[in-house]
Amino acid sequence: MTASTTPTAPTPPAEPRATAPTRARRVGREIAAIVSVGLAGALIFIINFGLSVDSGADDTALRFAGIFFLDLLLGLLAVGLVPLRRYVPLTTAILLAVAAALSSFAVPAALLALVSLATHRRTRDIAIATAVWLVSGAAAALLGLDLIGAPLAPVDLAITLAVTALLLAVAIAIGVSIGSRRALVASLQERAILVEEEQRLREDAARDHERARIAREMHDSLAHRLSLTAMHASALRYRDDLDADERAAVVETVHDNARASLGELRDILAVVRAPGSAESDHPQPTLDDLEALIATVTAATSVDTRIAVDTASLSPTVSRHAYRIVQECLTNARRHAPGAPVTLTVAGTVGDRLALTVRNPLPADAQTPTHAQAPTPGFGLIGIDERVRAVQGTLDITPGPDEFRVEVSLPWSISA
């Protein structure tokens, strides 16, 4: 019996650990982001500070200094919070949006946080962050909480909000585009992994199929000859009544079967050693070789052969399987009913079906192993059933009390 193996679902690949170069690149990117938004924020802060001085706002020096340091402090704090956008994107975007309403220094950091949030493509989170940005910006402009110091007129407020909304739309579009590209790359990578896994499973299945085929061929070809060798060798051991000529004939039979077994084993090993070699590259016996097969067993088993079939138009594949089926039936008969006569019938007509029948009487002690029995290889009738199913045939095994019968019906030809 061959052990059946149940294919297991492919194991998802483990999340790759960050290597030292990967961590270094991440740290480098974060430092570059912090430096970039810091420099951009400082530039905007300086420009805004210059505008506040040129505007000649009539604020007291104390109020001006307070707003100045508040802008600078919030800007530096916003720059420091930039790395958090990777871990809590919505919270970071909201905090920096509020900071941007009060600090020109914080605007680049807040825009970067919004871009990072948009890469996740969560509409609700993007809407919340955008609303917080617009509401806090409008409130700060109405209250005059910036370096210019004076509340904006309605027209100026509308223009400011329109420009801010346009700026936010650009940032969101950039973030969504980056997120879509990342999702596409991840999808392609996942698909490539699945394709690779499917290919591996197909290769494993092909290897398993090839192993099973080789094992079946080894059983079908070697078990027959080895069982003959074991039986004749046993005769040499237990038959004291053999004369010199009979003993020499048995020794010659053992020698011939051993040599033939070695040759077949070499052929099989040649297939194993040559990946990709087709089964058809190594000629296999067919029903045309049936007489030679029967000749190897008649010394130990009487075979009554009734063959009425013209193999010229028979499918080569069907003919090969039929030969192996007959070979296995003869081996089983010799193993389980040693010395009992075997009746073999092979019949069929062109365009019809090929019928094989193998019968042998069962001895009274059929369940008791004899010294002439070869070890059971483990395939036997299962191998016959596999070959019958391989060519869409039918198999009927009848183990009666006095006779064991195997009836096989195979199609005359099979579709390619």
User: DSSP per residue over 55-103, as a string?
Assistant: TT----HHHHHHHHHHHHHHHHHHHHHGGGGGTSHHHHHHHHHHHHHH-
| pLDDT winner (highest mean) among 102-116, 216-230, 261-275 | 102-116
CA neighbor of 233 nearest in space, from 261, 259, 252, 219: 252
CA neighbor of 164 nearest in space, from 111, 242, 238, 235: 111
- What pLDDT shows up at residue 12? 44
- What pLDDT shows up at residue 267? 64
- What pLDDT shows up at residue 268? 63
Average pLDDT, the chain: 78
Question: Which token pair is 126?
Answer: 């993007």
Q: What is the mean pLDDT of residues 325-330?
A: 88
Taken as a whole, the chain contains a residue count of 416
Distance (Å, whole) CA 222 – CA 243:
29
Angle at CA of residue 79, ends 74 and 81, nearest 5°:
95
Higher pLDDT, 17 or 327: 327
pLDDT(279) > 80: no
Q: What is the mean pLDDT of residues 274-302?
A: 72
Q: Which residue has the tokens 């509308």?
A: 158
Confidence of residue 90 (pLDDT cuts 50, 70, 90): very high
| N-term to C-term CA, the chain | 29
Share of the chain above pLDDT 90, in %: 21
Phi, psi of 305 (to 5 degrees): -100, 130
Question: Which token pair is 341?
Answer: 């006569």
Question: Where do the structural domains in the chain lie, given as residue ranges?
Answer: 23-152, 202-411
Distance (Å, whole) CA 76 – CA 70:
10
CA neighbor of 325 nearest in space, from 237, 397, 233, 228: 397
Angle at CA of residue 211, ends 375 and 13, nearest 5°:
130
What's the farthest any 2 CA atoms get from each other in the chain? 137
pLDDT(340) > 70: yes
Higher pLDDT, 376 or 216: 216
- What pLDDT shows up at residue 212? 74
The 3-state DSSP class for residue 406 equals: strand
Q: Which residue has the tokens 């002690």?
A: 365
Q: Which residue has the tokens 């008791």?
A: 368
| pLDDT winner (highest mean) among 118-132, 134-148, 193-207 | 118-132
CA distances from 90 to 4, 119, 120, 128 (A): 53, 11, 10, 8
CATH class of 202-411: alpha beta
The 3-state DSSP class for residue 399 equals: strand
Q: What is the mean pLDDT of residues 374-399?
A: 75
- What pLDDT shows up at residue 285? 85
CA neighbor of 328 nearest in space, from 297, 353, 300: 297
Confidence (pTM)? 0.48
CA neighbor of 225 nearest in space, from 257, 190, 263: 257
Sign of the torsion angle spanned by Cα atoms 13, 15, 20, 21? positive
Kindly give the pairing relationship between strand 303-308 and strand 342-348.
parallel
Q: Which residue has the tokens 């040499």?
A: 236
Sign of the torsion angle spanned by Cα atoms 316, 309, 391, 404? negative
DSSP readout, 316-379? HHHHHHHHHHHHHHHHHHHHHSTT--EEEEEEE-TTSEEEEEEEEEPPTTTTS--TTPPPP-S-
Q: How is residue 82 annotated by DSSP?
A: G
**Secondary structure (H, E, C), 233-257:** HHHHHHCCCCCHHHHHHHHHHHHHH
Asked whether 116 and 154 are in contact (CB, 8 A), the reply is no
- What pLDDT shows up at residue 7? 43
Which strands sit side by side in the sheet containing 394-399, from one edge to the other?
A: 303-308, 342-348, 353-361, 403-411, 394-399
Q: What is the mean pLDDT of residues 365-384?
A: 52
Q: How is residue 120 annotated by DSSP?
A: T
CA neighbor of 322 nearest in space, from 352, 345, 356, 293: 356
